Chains A and B, each alone.
Chain A
Amino acid sequence: MGRSIVRRVRLPFVAVLAGALVLAACGSSSSGGGKGGGGGNTGNTSTTAGAYGTLPAQVGTPKPGGTVSYGIEAGSQPTYIMPITPGADSSVYDASFQYLLYRPLYWTPEGNRAIIDPDLSLAALPVYSNGGKTITINMKQTYKWSDGKPVDAQDVLFWIDELRAAVRENPANFGNYTKGNFPDNVVSATAPSTYQVVLTLKRSYNPNWYTDTQLNIISPLPSTAWNIASTGGPHLDFTNPANAKKIYDYLNAQSKKVATYATNPLWQVVDGPFKLTSFSATTDANTMVPNPTYGGQKPVFSTLKAEYFASSTAEFNAMLAGKLSVGEVPADDLPQLPRLKSQGYNVYGYPDLGFGYIVFNFKDTTDNWDKIVGQLYFRQALAHLEDQAAIVHGAFHDAAAQDYGPVPAVPATAYVPSNAATNPYPFSVADASKLLSSHGWKVVPNGTTTCVSPGSGPTNCGAGIPAGQKISITIPYTNDPPVAGQETTQLASAAKQVGINITPVAKTFNYIVSQYADPSAPQNDNKWQMENFGGFSTDIYPTTDEIFNSGGSFNQGGYDSTEANTLIKNSKFSSDPNAVEKEASYLTQNLPALFTPNEDRIYAWKGVSGPPDSFANLTQFAFTPEFWFVTGK
């Protein structure tokens, strides 16, 4: 496409932004582990290793008034307002929109650090007891709904009951729902006092996992204003499941009426920093004004305006013309940054937590591929053929960080394993060649490498690989954005030099993830050997549960390792605070996939200023404009 419409290499993970670094629980977690970490913002212009550009310090003092404008693009518009978002409407953009009005219980990130921000959360960090089966949440008492009622434990219970009703009706009613996880794993939720919630779980989990991936989706709802099943109807007791269902159906139906978002009195009951004053039914463009009853930092400017753009190019063009306060810079347009800077924009980029990867298909049995790719030395050889430095420079214009495993060194987190700092398989055609030839392959550069020493000994090709076996790989890659093609082409070019024949094939993103996926399309298992659709954004507790464990819903390639399964299980269920590190360390070394560089999310802003963290968090898909003020420059 002339201009990409979907810009993300990775599809942003639905709404799950929260996570916790549970400093209390077992003590030994450190912040900013690994080389290149420690992205502390010390007030002055801060340089974080791996960041693109620098964060400016706050300029001047907050002055009231002014308008802050940002862009929303076609296909990434907020389309659902009630904080139990169906899968079809779930996206980071919809979540950002909701969070301006309705704050979640736990807020992530803190600046560009993927941890829970205690200041912006509505409760203190959860306390685990009773062998991890009881969770006590003490809410802050400073937040109120705009109708005067406090944000309290009942509001949390209300949300939980409504969520139960929603997913019981249809699992697709909540995008973040996986059967067996929240709320299924909660036996009971009670409120022993006004501001205290106690959850009892079916079994114990790793507290970091539970806080960062389960509790982070909680979003309190106004239990005394929204517990109705018809407009102007009586307030119902939501603890009764039949009532909860009626209430959910009503709220859901109201939330489908996009044209009424700004006028429906339901949505005027907010606990966030803004309230909605207008909302366009056709473009979802909207305007908000400050909410004077917000319990946190109240915005000092007068209007927050979301403007609609038919494509990301249109939005970028508007930025080039100086017409937006803040917006994302698409990776393709990086060469045009000087023009943007000449308009007075500040530019900053940082990767969000996640990884890029080229998937190995372990289930393709044609031509003995599964036997070949099952050999670790072969995967290592391929890893040596990937030139991450060239990819970062040539494909990402230096706006990316190298990534060797599911938890990369950048962005810095507490879970970075020790082998994330240096590439365990650096780019070297010679090393790849040596690996192959020392395992019974006759390497023919620019020709066809064949197996000459079949067998399962240490110098043989491996069990099930016959003599004369060639290596022919088809790699479907997403045609948009172009970096996937460049990564795949680079791999193919390098592979040719050791006689491995790679054929890249361009497909649409949707096609690849739906048709070339072992969990959902096993009938196609014999049609692809590797694939490149981007990668994943993870929770702030970056376990690869569901991605690399056997039977995981997104284990596209059918990777099956007993050791990995145990480590992933530990990340989820054991009480070891280093479980994720161990899991990531193993996966970095065992190569369930080829890991590719982590793209920087780059944002530009002008005419506004504020604390550096309130801009740094843009890179983590968070949006907290309430800290900003208009400088007019």
Chain B
Amino acid sequence: MTSLIPGMPGHDRDRLTALEPLLSPPDAGEVYEQGSGFKITVKAFAENRLALVGIGIVVFFLFFCYLGPHVYHSNQISGNLGANDLRPGPGHPLGTDDNGFDELGRIMKGGQAALEIGLLTAMIATVVGTLWGAVAGLVGGWLDGLLMRIVDVGLSIPTLFVVLIISARYSATVLSLSIILGLNAWFVPARLVRGEVLTLRERDFVSAARAMGSSQTRQVLRHLIPNALSVVIVNITFQIADAILTVAFVGYLNFGLHFPQVDWGDQLSDGVNYLGDGYWWLIYPVGICLILTVMAFNFMGDALRDAVDVRMRKR
């Protein structure tokens, strides 16, 4: 199973979490209190200090990236090739990049795209994955088998390969990148949601709904999805973190945003070309921003997951 972040096996825990409901046989008795998504979120953040730190970091970067350019003005339209790769100095607190743009201003602009791509990718992946998984889990039978085999194929093809092949044909914009990454990331939510659905549909309230004659669609919409939502919320946060990292990964392979757009991933990967030349200002500032943001989302996701797990396992 390919997680979005190559080399980061941690998110396979999501898959194992999906299997865990299968570990304990369906409980026909007690119905746990299904807290609403909002309640879970608040509980998670109240209990976990790191999650608060995460929120703080994300808020900081939102201000930095979107309000920053109004405070710190730099020319991000016309580069100046003759004045490129300058060290930090007067007029350029973080120096200039490969094309002569002010690096600090570029980082602000890059953050906008990074956050947007992260959010958009997560949404695409979650929407597609949730629907796919819900249908598969609900309908069952051979359709379930077919849908899941497709998911298996998707999980088994290295993301890297897909991205590189596609990058040869299509160019990268915020939208196209989000779609491509999103379409590579929906396999995990699909599995998760299917697992949840499989468990939940054995629960009493679903049988009750069925007994009362509500249609399949109603079951899905009214009961299953909201209950599976907790798992989905956890997954979204991790998806955002993964997406931002994947953009960096993909930028390293030269399929990323280029002038006039920019995002952290490309900046970082362009910068590391110059590691041997000692142009540290093209590498570390952007790298730290990226890592902090990804970390922030991971903190939040981890806290949410703990809250969901507690609910499910009565630990």
Quick check: A496 and B171 within 8 Å, CB to CB? no
| 0/1 interface trace, chain A 371-389, chain B, CB 8 Å (1 if under) | 0000000000000000101
Quick check: B254 and A493 within 8 Å, CB to CB? no
CA distance A1 to B251 in the complex (A): 8
Quick check: B82 and A393 within 8 Å, CB to CB? yes
Residue on A with the closest CB to B169? A511
Residue on B with the closest CB to A512? B168
CA distance A504 to B261 in the complex (A): 10
Interface status of B79 (Cβ within 8 A of chain A) = yes
Whole-angstrom distance between the Cβ of A316 and the nearest chain B Cβ:
9
CA distance A389 to B82 in the complex (A): 8
Quick check: B171 and A506 within 8 Å, CB to CB? yes
Whole-angstrom distance between the Cβ of B151 and the nearest chain A Cβ:
30
Which one of B199-207, B221-229, B232-240, B269-277 is at the A interface? B269-277
Interface status of B36 (Cβ within 8 A of chain A) = no
Contact-size category for B: 20 to 34
CA distance A488 to B259 in the complex (A): 9
CA distance A476 to B169 in the complex (A): 11
Interface status of B52 (Cβ within 8 A of chain A) = no
Quick check: B168 and A387 within 8 Å, CB to CB? no
Interface status of B278 (Cβ within 8 A of chain A) = yes
Quick check: B254 and A490 within 8 Å, CB to CB? no
Which one of A238-246, A348-356, A477-485, A568-576 is at the B interface? A477-485
Interface status of A149 (Cβ within 8 A of chain B) = no
Of B79, B252, B255, B274, the contact of A493 (CB 8 Å cutoff): B79
| 0/1 interface trace, chain B 249-268, chain A, CB 8 Å (1 if under) | 00011111011100000000
* List of B residues within 8 angstroms of A508 by Cβ: 167-168
CA distance A3 to B273 in the complex (A): 6
* List of B residues within 8 angstroms of A490 by Cβ: 79, 81, 99
Whether A507 contacts B171 in the complex (CB less than 8 A), given A332-B273, A394-B100, comes out as yes
Residue on A with the closest CB to B258? A506
Of B80, B99, B253, B276, the contact of A1 (CB 8 Å cutoff): B253
Of B81, B253, B258, the contact of A391 (CB 8 Å cutoff): B81
Interface status of A217 (Cβ within 8 A of chain B) = no
Quick check: A489 and B79 within 8 Å, CB to CB? yes
Interface status of A180 (Cβ within 8 A of chain B) = no
Residue on A with the closest CB to B269? A2
Of A391, A486, A493, A507, the contact of B78 (CB 8 Å cutoff): A493
Whether A395 contacts B252 in the complex (CB less than 8 A), given A482-B270, A490-B99, comes out as no
CA distance A338 to B256 in the complex (A): 32
CA distance A333 to B82 in the complex (A): 18
Quick check: B270 and A492 within 8 Å, CB to CB? no
Interface status of B85 (Cβ within 8 A of chain A) = yes
Interface status of B84 (Cβ within 8 A of chain A) = yes
Interface status of B77 (Cβ within 8 A of chain A) = yes
* List of A residues within 8 angstroms of B100 by Cβ: 394
* List of B residues within 8 angstroms of A26 by Cβ: none
CA distance A492 to B81 in the complex (A): 11
Q: Which of B98, B256, B258 has the most CB of A within 10 A?
A: B258
Interface status of B155 (Cβ within 8 A of chain A) = no
| 0/1 interface trace, chain B 274-286, chain A, CB 8 Å (1 if under) | 1011100000000
Whole-angstrom distance between the Cβ of A509 and the nearest chain B Cβ:
10
Whether A336 contacts B171 in the complex (CB less than 8 A), given A395-B81, A489-B259, comes out as no
Whole-angstrom distance between the Cβ of B251 and the nearest chain A Cβ:
10
* List of A residues within 8 angstroms of B171 by Cβ: 476, 505-507
CA distance A1 to B209 in the complex (A): 55
Whether A493 contacts B99 in the complex (CB less than 8 A), given A480-B254, A511-B169, comes out as yes
Whether A2 contacts B252 in the complex (CB less than 8 A), given A490-B99, A504-B259, A507-B168, comes out as yes
Interface members, chain A 514-545 (any B CB < 8 Å):
none
Quick check: B99 and A489 within 8 Å, CB to CB? yes
CA distance A493 to B82 in the complex (A): 13
* List of B residues within 8 angstroms of A489 by Cβ: 79, 81, 99, 258-259
* List of B residues within 8 angstroms of A387 by Cβ: 81-82
CA distance A335 to B274 in the complex (A): 9
Whole-angstrom distance between the Cβ of B247 and the nearest chain A Cβ:
14
Q: Classify the interface of chain A: helix, strand, loop or mixed.
A: helix
Quick check: B254 and A390 within 8 Å, CB to CB? no
* List of A residues within 8 angstroms of B83 by Cβ: 394
Whole-angstrom distance between the Cβ of B315 and the nearest chain A Cβ:
43
CA distance A336 to B172 in the complex (A): 32
Quick check: B85 and A394 within 8 Å, CB to CB? yes
Q: Which of A391, A394, A496 has the most CB of B within 10 A?
A: A394
Interface status of A494 (Cβ within 8 A of chain B) = yes
Whole-angstrom distance between the Cβ of A363 and the nearest chain B Cβ:
21
Interface status of A446 (Cβ within 8 A of chain B) = yes
CA distance A486 to B259 in the complex (A): 9
* List of A residues within 8 angstroms of B270 by Cβ: 482
CA distance A489 to B97 in the complex (A): 12
Quick check: B82 and A486 within 8 Å, CB to CB? no
Whole-angstrom distance between the Cβ of B171 and the nearest chain A Cβ:
4
CA distance A506 to B77 in the complex (A): 18
CA distance A213 to B228 in the complex (A): 72
Quick check: A335 and B172 within 8 Å, CB to CB? no
CA distance A476 to B272 in the complex (A): 23
CA distance A485 to B78 in the complex (A): 14
| 0/1 interface trace, chain A 536-564, chain B, CB 8 Å (1 if under) | 00000000000000000000000000000
CA distance A506 to B79 in the complex (A): 18
* List of A residues within 8 angstroms of B98 by Cβ: 482, 486
Quick check: A479 and B81 within 8 Å, CB to CB? no
Quick check: B273 and A482 within 8 Å, CB to CB? yes
Quick check: A390 and B78 within 8 Å, CB to CB? no
* List of B residues within 8 angstroms of A503 by Cβ: 260
Interface members, chain B 177-193 (any A CB < 8 Å):
none
Whether A506 contacts B168 in the complex (CB less than 8 A), given A387-B82, A493-B79, A497-B78, comes out as no
Whole-angstrom distance between the Cβ of B51 and the nearest chain A Cβ:
34
Quick check: B258 and A496 within 8 Å, CB to CB? no
CA distance A390 to B82 in the complex (A): 4
CA distance A496 to B253 in the complex (A): 28
* List of A residues within 8 angstroms of B82 by Cβ: 387, 389-390, 393-394
CA distance A42 to B57 in the complex (A): 66
Quick check: A394 and B168 within 8 Å, CB to CB? no
CA distance A480 to B164 in the complex (A): 14
CA distance A394 to B83 in the complex (A): 7
| 0/1 interface trace, chain A 407-448, chain B, CB 8 Å (1 if under) | 000000000000000000000000000000000000000100
Whole-angstrom distance between the Cβ of B20 and the nearest chain A Cβ:
39
Of A3, A335, A486, A496, the contact of B99 (CB 8 Å cutoff): A486
* List of B residues within 8 angstroms of A493 by Cβ: 77-80, 99, 259
Interface members, chain B 138-176 (any A CB < 8 Å):
167-169, 171-172
Q: Which of A333, A390, A395, A476 has the most CB of B within 10 A?
A: A390
Quick check: B84 and A394 within 8 Å, CB to CB? yes
Quick check: A492 and B254 within 8 Å, CB to CB? no
CA distance A577 to B273 in the complex (A): 46
Residue on A with the closest CB to B82? A390
Interface members, chain B 26-55 (any A CB < 8 Å):
none
Quick check: B258 and A504 within 8 Å, CB to CB? yes
* List of B residues within 8 angstroms of A395 by Cβ: 81, 84
CA distance A503 to B260 in the complex (A): 7
* List of A residues within 8 angstroms of B167 by Cβ: 508
CA distance A485 to B100 in the complex (A): 13
Whole-angstrom distance between the Cβ of B283 and the nearest chain A Cβ:
12
Residue on B with the closest CB to A387? B81
Given contacts A333-B277, A485-B258, A504-B258, 4 further A-B contacts (CB under 8 A): A336-B277, A489-B99, A490-B79, A496-B78
For the complex of A and B, list the 8 residue pairs with the smallest distance between their C-beta atoms, beginning with the closest: A335-B277, A390-B82, A390-B81, A394-B81, A479-B254, A493-B78, A505-B171, A394-B84
Interchain Cβ contacts under 8 Å between A and B, 7 examples: A333-B276, A336-B276, A482-B273, A493-B78, A493-B259, A504-B259, A505-B258
Report which A residues bind B (CB closer than 8 A): 1-3, 332-333, 335-336, 387, 389-391, 393-395, 446, 476, 479-480, 482, 485-486, 488-490, 492-494, 496-497, 503-508, 510-511
